[in-house]
A and B are shown apart, each in its own frame.
Chain A
Amino acid sequence: MTTDRTKKRPRQPVPSFDEFAQARWSVLYRTAYLLTGDRDAGQDLVQDTLIKAFKRWDQVTRSGVPEAYVRKMMLNEYLDDQRRRGRRALKDRLLSVREEPTIVPDPTDRLDLWVLLATLAPRERAVLVLRYYEDLTEDQIATVLSLSRGTVKSYASTALRSLRARQASATAEQVREEPR
Chain B
Amino acid sequence: MTEPLEGELTQLLQERADAAQPPPVPLGMLRREGQAARDRSRRRPVLAAAAAAGILVLGLTAVTSLVSPSSKNTPTDSPRSEQPARPQVPYIHQGLLRVGSDEIPTQADQVLAEAGSVLVTDHYYSQSKGESSRSHALLGGELTPLPILEDAVVSLSQGGNLVAALSHPTPDSTRISVYRFPETDHERHIDLQIPGSCCHPGAVGFLGWDGDDRLFYNVDWLDEPFVWDVLTEGSAPVPVRGAPGPVIQVDLAGAVTVPGQYGEVTERVLGDVDESGVFRERMTIPAAEPTETIRWSPTGDFAAYRGKTAPVIDTVEDGQAGVPLNLGARKYSHFVAFEPDGNALLVTWTRNRHELMRCEPTGDCAPVLELGGVNALDDWAFAEHG
Bound-state Cα–Cα, A21 to B25, Å: 7
**Contact status A55-B38, CB under 8 Å:** yes
Bound-state Cα–Cα, A26 to B24, Å: 9
Q: Does A67 reach chain B (CB closer than 8 Å)?
A: no
CB distance from A157 to the nearest CB of B (A): 11
Q: Does B20 reach chain A (CB closer than 8 Å)?
A: yes
Q: Which of B10, B16, B75 is within 8 Å of A43, CB to CB?
A: B75
Q: How large is the interface on B (under 10, 10 to 19, 20 to 34, 35 or more residues)?
A: 35 or more
Q: Does B258 reach chain A (CB closer than 8 Å)?
A: no
Q: Does B264 reach chain A (CB closer than 8 Å)?
A: no
Beyond A18-B27, A47-B26, A133-B14, whether A94 also contacts B34 by CB under 8 A is: no
Q: Does B103 reach chain A (CB closer than 8 Å)?
A: no
**Contact status A114-B73, CB under 8 Å:** no
**Contact status B73-A113, CB under 8 Å:** no
Q: Does A102 reach chain B (CB closer than 8 Å)?
A: no
Q: Does A85 reach chain B (CB closer than 8 Å)?
A: no
Name the CB-closest residue of B to A160.
B5
Q: Does B23 reach chain A (CB closer than 8 Å)?
A: yes
Tell me which residues across on chain A come within 8 A of B16, comparing CB atoms: 33-34, 114
Q: Does A163 reach chain B (CB closer than 8 Å)?
A: yes
Q: Does B366 reach chain A (CB closer than 8 Å)?
A: no
Q: Which of B14, B30, B185 is within 8 Å of A54, CB to CB?
A: B30
Q: Does A155 reach chain B (CB closer than 8 Å)?
A: no
Bound-state Cα–Cα, A55 to B187, Å: 42
Please report the number of residue pairs spanning A and B whose Cβ atoms sit closer than 8 angstroms.
109
- Secondary structure dominating the interface of A: helix
Beyond A17-B34, A22-B25, A95-B180, whether A42 also contacts B20 by CB under 8 A is: yes
Q: Does B188 reach chain A (CB closer than 8 Å)?
A: yes
**Contact status B23-A43, CB under 8 Å:** yes
CB distance from B232 to the nearest CB of A (A): 8
Tell me which residues across on chain B come within 8 A of A29, comparing CB atoms: 20, 22-23
Tell me which residues across on chain B come within 8 A of A55, comparing CB atoms: 34, 37-38, 41
B197-242, CB < 8 A from A = 213, 230-233
Q: Does B13 reach chain A (CB closer than 8 Å)?
A: yes
Q: Which of A33, A90, A114 is within 8 Å of B12, CB to CB?
A: A114
Q: Mark B134-148, 1 if CB is under 8 A from A, else 0.
A: 000000000000000
**Contact status B12-A113, CB under 8 Å:** yes
Bound-state Cα–Cα, A150 to B26, Å: 39
Beyond A55-B38, A95-B179, A95-B180, whether A133 also contacts B10 by CB under 8 A is: yes
**Contact status A51-B13, CB under 8 Å:** no
Q: How large is the interface on A (under 10, 10 to 19, 20 to 34, 35 or more residues)?
A: 35 or more
Q: Does B178 reach chain A (CB closer than 8 Å)?
A: yes
Q: Does B17 reach chain A (CB closer than 8 Å)?
A: yes
Beyond A26-B22, A39-B20, A133-B14, whether A91 also contacts B231 by CB under 8 A is: yes
Beyond A51-B37, A97-B186, A133-B14, whether A30 also contacts B5 by CB under 8 A is: no
Bound-state Cα–Cα, A47 to B6, Å: 30
Q: Which of B35, B186, B233 is within 8 Å of A96, CB to CB?
A: B186
Bound-state Cα–Cα, A160 to B35, Å: 42
Q: Does B131 reach chain A (CB closer than 8 Å)?
A: no
CB distance from A59 to the nearest CB of B (A): 12
**Contact status A133-B13, CB under 8 Å:** yes
**Contact status B188-A94, CB under 8 Å:** yes
Q: Which of A52, A91, A113 is within 8 Å of B8, CB to CB?
A: A113
**Contact status B186-A54, CB under 8 Å:** no
Q: Does A74 reach chain B (CB closer than 8 Å)?
A: no
Q: Does A44 reach chain B (CB closer than 8 Å)?
A: yes
Of B14, B72, B233, most A-chain CB atoms within 10 Å:
B72
Tell me which residues across on chain B come within 8 A of A54, comparing CB atoms: 30-31, 33-35, 37-38
CB distance from A30 to the nearest CB of B (A): 4
**Contact status B14-A160, CB under 8 Å:** no
Tell me which residues across on chain B come within 8 A of A113, comparing CB atoms: 8-9, 12
Q: Does B183 reach chain A (CB closer than 8 Å)?
A: yes
Interface residues of A (CB under 8 A from B): 17-18, 21-22, 25-26, 29-31, 33-34, 39-40, 42-44, 47-48, 50-55, 57, 87, 90-91, 94-97, 113-114, 128-129, 132-133, 160, 163-164, 167
9 residue pairs bridging A and B, Cβ less than 8 Å apart: A21-B30, A25-B22, A30-B17, A42-B20, A55-B34, A55-B37, A90-B232, A94-B231, A95-B180
In order of increasing CB-CB distance, the 6 nearest A-B pairs are A54-B34, A133-B13, A29-B22, A30-B17, A25-B25, A26-B22
